[in-house]
């Protein structure tokens, strides 16, 4: 099925024009055009042009195209030029990577990231989870499941794809309460990775079905084979959608139903069949992380390392406002910090301490959003049981007291 324009990618001489990035079919069309231009027609230089009518960038189209461009540049030495004044489109031509774009980790969502090492994986996934944690309030278990899954799938790229790098992009859609992620590599593909393992898939479609089962890996010395299965369990538990594309086939799971689409897709070269993992979740509904991370009857304990760094000796979460807040002068900064506090409180039943040490001045909008609204949202008794305020100057106390009174009057008038 084609969405929007029937022509998603076109080519005129040495210029490839992308007309839509809201449809995953654009990936296959792009591969066809770049193979035609370079491998069949012999062009050593191609120019990528973006149609001015492009209105949105979806990860399942943008990430694979960025990876394919990188592959032909690096592996096939094809010169690919292009320029866009839209930063999101330019990102497809030049993905973010470390350490060059380290400062961009502060807002890691909505960007295509190229990763080459385990350190890249750690820094990028940590930044993505931190941005999610601050962007909205997530149902129980969702953030932990996403963190575990993207770490595992990115690690799979480095260990099994035989590609030098991978690409990832995450998006948050607040209106629909969904998160969307796509991870791509221009590697050998899932079938070739598993072909000589003890699982010995009969064909590519068989390999796609096998890879989501617990314990399936090319080599037990390299991994336990739980990464793709854990992601599948997360999507299943979270009523989400999962599409795994490798070689010419794709595995689709949605609304409790699974299917294989055969001979529908293109890949860069016969040696590089590539793999795309695309999934989305509804983050407004609680899931059981224990159920998600149970493999062959054995439960995997998820450890939130970030939360552990915030804990004091009593196991209480200590939020140092001076360090964690992105300034204390705006309501937006307070909203982001409040989201983080509420998300982390879901996995820690002990008291959370808001430590104002080193904070000499805050605006009324900041303290209203961070503390007064938190009191109203939790309720007085729940707030007193779960929240403790520490190291507030007399000026901060006065500002808070005024904000709380005004907030309560506003809520109940």
User: Cβ contacts of residue 91 below 8 Å, gap of 6+?
Assistant: 62, 66, 111, 112
The 3-state DSSP class for residue 187 equals coil
What is the C-alpha separation between 207 and 274, in angstroms, rounded? 14
* Residue 74 to residues 1, 22, 155, 163, Cα–Cα distance (Å): 33, 26, 21, 11
What is the C-alpha separation between 217 and 194, in angstroms, rounded? 7
Residues of the chain with CATH 3.30.750: 1-94, 305-412
Check if the beta carbon of residue 380 is closer than 8 Å to that of residue 346: no
CATH architecture label of 95-302: 2-Layer Sandwich (3.30)
**pLDDT of res. 3:** 47
User: Cβ contacts of residue 15 below 8 Å, gap of 6+?
Assistant: 46, 47, 49
201: left (phi over 0), alpha (psi -120 to 50) or beta: beta
Largest separation between any pair of C-alpha atoms in the chain: 75
- Local mean pLDDT, 10-residue blocks, the chain (413 residues): 69 96 96 95 96 93 98 95 89 97 96 98 98 98 96 95 97 97 98 88 94 80 78 94 97 95 92 96 94 82 90 95 96 97 92 96 96 92 95 96 90 75
**pLDDT of res. 1:** 45
* Residue 302 to residues 156, 204, 284, 291, 299, Cα–Cα distance (Å): 19, 32, 20, 11, 9
Q: Cα–chain-centroid distance for residue 163?
A: 20
Nearest 5°: the CA angle 111, 113, 116 is 175
Check if the beta carbon of residue 309 is closer than 8 Å to that of residue 318: no
**pLDDT of res. 226:** 84
What is the C-alpha separation between 324 and 353, in angstroms, rounded? 13
Residues of the chain with CATH 3.30.565.10: 95-302
Q: Looking at the domain 1-94, which fold is it?
A: Transcription Regulator spoIIAA (3.30.750)
Neighbours of 81 (CB within 10 A): 12
* Residue 10 to residues 20, 90, 144, 257, Cα–Cα distance (Å): 11, 19, 41, 34
What is the C-alpha separation between 388 and 239, in angstroms, rounded? 36
* Residue 349 to residues 121, 289, 299, 314, Cα–Cα distance (Å): 30, 16, 21, 12
E strands, 122-272, where? 166-173, 178-185, 241-246, 249-254, 257-261
**pLDDT of res. 234:** 96
Q: Which of 97, 222, 217 is nearest to 168 (CA)?
A: 97
Q: How far apart are the first and last CA of the chain?
A: 53
Q: Cα–chain-centroid distance for residue 27?
A: 19
State the alpha helices, DSSP H only, in 248-330: 289-292, 305-310, 321-324
Token pair for 163: 């590609």
Strand partners, 180: 171, 280
Strand partners, 318: 353
State the alpha helices, DSSP H only, in 36-173: 59-74, 87-93, 118-135, 142-160
Write the burial class of residue 54 (CB in 10 Å: 0-12 exposed, 13-18 middle, 19+ buried): middle
Token pair for 367: 């303290």
Q: Looking at the domain 305-412, which fold is it?
A: Transcription Regulator spoIIAA (3.30.750)
């Amino acid at each position: 099925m084609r969405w929007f324009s029937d022509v998603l990618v076109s080519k005129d001489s040495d210029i490839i024009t992308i007309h839509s990035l809201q449809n995953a079919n654009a990936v296959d069309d792009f591969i066809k055009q770049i193979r035609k231009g370079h491998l069949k027609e012999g062009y050593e230089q191609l120019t990528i042009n973006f149609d001015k009518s492009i209105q949105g960038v979806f990860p399942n189209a943008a990430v694979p195209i960025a990876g394919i461009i990188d592959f032909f540049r690096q592996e096939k030495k094809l010169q690919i030029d292009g320029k866009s004044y839209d930063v999101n489109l330019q990102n497809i031509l030049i993905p973010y990577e470390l350490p060059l774009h380290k400062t961009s980790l502060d807002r890691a969502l909505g960007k295509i990231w190229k990763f080459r090492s385990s350190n890249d994986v750690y820094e990028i996934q940590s930044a993505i989870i931190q941005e999610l944690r601050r962007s909205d309030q997530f149902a129980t278990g969702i953030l932990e499941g996403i963190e575990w899954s993207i770490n595992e799938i990115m690690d799979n790229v480095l260990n099994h794809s035989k590609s030098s790098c991978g690409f990832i992009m995450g998006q948050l859609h607040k209106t629909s309460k969904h998160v969307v992620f796509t991870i791509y590599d221009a590697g050998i593909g899932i079938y070739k990775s598993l072909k000589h393992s003890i699982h010995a898939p009969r064909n590519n479609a068989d390999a796609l079905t096998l890879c989501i089962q617990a314990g399936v890996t090319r080599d037990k010395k390299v991994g336990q084979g739980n990464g793709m299965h854990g992601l599948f369990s997360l999507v299943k538990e979270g009523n989400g959608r999962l599409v795994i594309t490798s070689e010419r086939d794709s595995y689709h799971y949605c609304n409790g139903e699974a299917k294989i689409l055969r001979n529908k897709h293109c890949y860069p070269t016969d040696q590089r069949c590539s793999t795309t993992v695309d999934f989305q979740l509804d983050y407004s509904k609680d899931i059981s992380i224990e159920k998600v991370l149970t493999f062959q009857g054995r439960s995997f304990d998820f450890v939130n390392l970030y939360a552990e760094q915030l804990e004091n000796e009593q196991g209480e979460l200590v939020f140092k406002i001076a360090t964690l807040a992105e300034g204390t002068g705006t309501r937006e900064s307070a909203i982001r910090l409040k989201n983080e506090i509420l998300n982390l409180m879901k996995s820690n039943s002990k008291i959370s301490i808001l430590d104002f040490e080193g904070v000499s001045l805050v605006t009324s909008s900041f303290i209203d959003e961070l503390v007064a609204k938190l009191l109203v949202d939790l309720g007085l008794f729940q707030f007193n049981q779960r929240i403790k305020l520490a190291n507030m100057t007399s000026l901060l106390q006065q500002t808070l007291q005024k904000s709380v009174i005004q907030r309560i009057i506003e809520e109940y008038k």
